[in-house]
Amino acid sequence: MADMKLAAVAEAFLRLRNANPNPTTELEYASPYQLLVAVVLSAQATDKGVNLATRKLFAVAPTPEAMVDLGEAGIVEHIKTIGLFRNKAKNTLALSHQLLERHGGEVPNDRDALEALPGVGRKTANVVLNTIFGEPTMAVDTHIFRLANRTGLAPGKDVLEVEKRLLRRIPKEYLRDAHHWLILHGRYVCVARKPHCGKCIIRDLCLSRDKTD
């Protein structure tokens, strides 16, 4: 797959910004801790499904202390509608313990510290660093991986390659919000099976040979 020209990349993000100047995650949260838990729960689950579960979970366990008090069985009871809920309950409890023991109950602004938490990988750390701390990170999920390859924004063979290429190719002025724009575009416009090319604001810049009407 050919690379989209850098001038076209800049134009694409200018249009995405104009259409949505203040993008954010669709996960619901009221604190850095709640966002961290929500992102951990969102693996192989929809944001909508996670929000339905966390509204009830965070009502009774909004903090690491309260989550530890709730216990694994209590967490399971609130998130059992989400895929992989048993493992996610274990990780949620363990990361809550670790935040209390190592970080004073606060979510650390540090990649290594975040990735040391149970259930937290590079993608989750990137979401937290970007959304909470404003760092120009790129959390490459299935939507962004597909979109980057399909459009020519930053083709790559795996998520890490795509992440690094996006960070190099996107103009700095757009990096703070680029992750959210791409996820939303992949979720609602550049969808997997039949992309909605007719309503795509970057259609003329896209290098895909399989555009739909």
Q: Which of 48, 90, 123, 199 is catalytic?
A: 123
Q: Is 211 a catalytic residue?
A: no
Angle at 108 between CA 102 and CA 114, to 5 degrees: 85
| Close Cβ partners of 29 (under 8 Å, ≥ 6 residues apart) | 35, 38, 54, 58
Using an 8 Å Cβ cutoff, are 135 and 121 in contact?
Answer: no
Tokens of 72: 């694994």
**Distance (Å, whole) CA 128 – CA 115:** 11
**Distance (Å, whole) CA 164 – CA 171:** 13
Angle between helix 159-169 and 122-131 (nearest 10): 30
Using an 8 Å Cβ cutoff, are 202 and 12 in contact?
Answer: yes
Torsion angle, CA of 106/109/159/35, rounded to 10 degrees?
30
Q: Is 112 a catalytic residue?
A: no
Tokens of 36: 């961290």
Q: Which of 47, 90, 141, 177 is catalytic?
A: 141
Residue bearing tokens 């149970």: 118
Positions marked catalytic = 123, 141
